Structure 1
Amino acid sequence: MLRAGRLLPVLTVLALLAALGSALWLSGASARADGPVGPCENTNVCVGASTPPTDGSGGSGGGGGGGGGVRVCEYQGTTYPCSTDFGTFDPDDGCYYEQVEPQPPAGDPDWHGHAPGDGGVYLKTCPYTPGGGSANVWMAAAPAVPPVVTPAELAQRALAMIHRTAAGVGTAPSNDGKRTALVGSPIWLWINKDGTDYATKADPLSATAAVPGLSVTANVYVTEVDWDMGDQGAAPKCGAGTPYRDSDGAKPSPDCGYSYTQPSIGQPDERYAITATVHWSVTWVATNGAGDTFALDPIATPATTLRVSELQVLN
Structure 2
Amino acid sequence: MLRGRAVLVLGGLVLALLAPTKAAVADGPSGGVACTPRKLDCDVSVEVPGKPAGTKPGKPANGGGGGGGKPTCALDGEPVPCTSHLGQFNAADACYWRLKDPQPKTRAEAEFTTGLPEDWQPGDPGKFYDVTCPGADRQLMGGMTYSETGPDGGGVDVRALADQAVEALRLEGADIGIAPKPDGVGLVGMPVWIWNRPGETHTGPASASASAGGVTVTAKAKVRNVTYRMGDGGDPVVCTAPGTPYSKEFGMRVSPDCGYRYERPSATVDGGRYKVTAVTTWDIDWEGAGQSGTLTTTRDASTSVEIREAQALNTR
User: Taking structure 1 as the reference length, what is the TM-score of the superposition?
Assistant: 0.52
Change (3 A) 1:247 1:139: same
Correspondence for 1:180: 185
Correspondence for 2:211: 210
Specify every segment of 5 or more residues in structure 2 that has no aligned partner in the other structure, as ranges. Answer: 1-79, 98-103, 130-149
How big is the shift at 1:121?
A: 12
Change (3 A) 1:144 1:160: farther
Q: How does 1:158-177 map to 2 (within 5 A)?
A: 158-176=165-183
Q: How does 1:1-315 map to 2 (within 5 A)?
A: 64=82, 68-70=89-91, 125=117, 135=119, 137=121, 143-145=127-129, 146=150, 148-149=155-156, 151-176=158-183, 179-194=184-199, 196-199=201-204, 204-211=205-212, 214-239=215-240, 240-286=242-288, 288=290, 290-296=291-297, 298-314=298-314
The answer on whether the counterparts of 2:90 and 2:289 sit within 8 Å (CA) in structure 1 is no
Change (3 A) 1:228 1:287: same
Letter in 1 for 2:174: A
Change (3 A) 1:215 1:141: closer
Question: SS where residue 135 of structure 1 aligns?
Answer: coil
Q: Mean Cα displacement is larger for which, 254-263 or 271-280?
A: 271-280
Change (3 A) 1:182 1:212: same
Q: Distance in 1 between the 2:268 and 2:311 partners?
A: 17
How big is the shift at 1:160?
A: 2.5
Change (3 A) 1:150 1:261: same
Question: SS where residue 239 of structure 2 aligns?
Answer: coil
How big is the shift at 1:152?
A: 3.1
The answer on whether the counterparts of 1:263 and 1:310 sit within 8 Å (CA) in structure 2 is no
Q: Distance in 2 between the 1:261 and 1:141 partners?
A: 71
How big is the shift at 1:187?
A: 0.8
Structure with the larger strand share: 2
* Aligned residues with identical type, % of pairs: 27
Q: Deviations over 1:33-67 (max 9, x none)?
A: xxxxxxxxxxxxxxxxxxxxxxxxxxxxx9717x9
Q: Distance in 1 between the 2:196 and 2:223 partners?
A: 11
Q: Distance in 2 between the 1:169 and 1:140 partners?
A: 58
Query: Greater CA radius of gyration, 1 or 2?
Result: 1
The answer on whether the counterparts of 1:264 and 1:271 sit within 8 Å (CA) in structure 2 is yes
Letter in 2 for 1:224: N
Q: Distance in 2 between the 1:69 and 1:172 partners?
A: 53
Correspondence for 1:45: none
Output the aligned Cα RMSD.
3.9
How big is the shift at 1:285?
A: 2.6
The answer on whether the counterparts of 2:220 and 2:285 sit within 8 Å (CA) in structure 1 is yes
Q: Distance in 2 between the 1:314 and 1:276 partners?
A: 40
Q: Distance in 2 between the 1:136 and 1:267 partners?
A: 75
Question: SS where residue 281 of structure 2 aligns?
Answer: strand
Structure with the larger helix share: 1
- Highest RCO, 1 vs 2 (Cα 8 Å, sep ≥ 6): 2
How big is the shift at 1:143?
A: 2.7
User: Taking structure 2 as the reference length, what is the TM-score of the superposition?
Assistant: 0.52
Question: SS where residue 267 of structure 2 aligns?
Answer: coil
Specify every segment of 5 or more residues in structure 1 that has no aligned partner in the other structure, as ranges. Answer: 1-61, 73-82, 84-96, 104-116, 126-133
Change (3 A) 1:158 1:195: closer
Question: SS where residue 302 of structure 1 aligns?
Answer: strand
Letter in 1 for 2:195: W
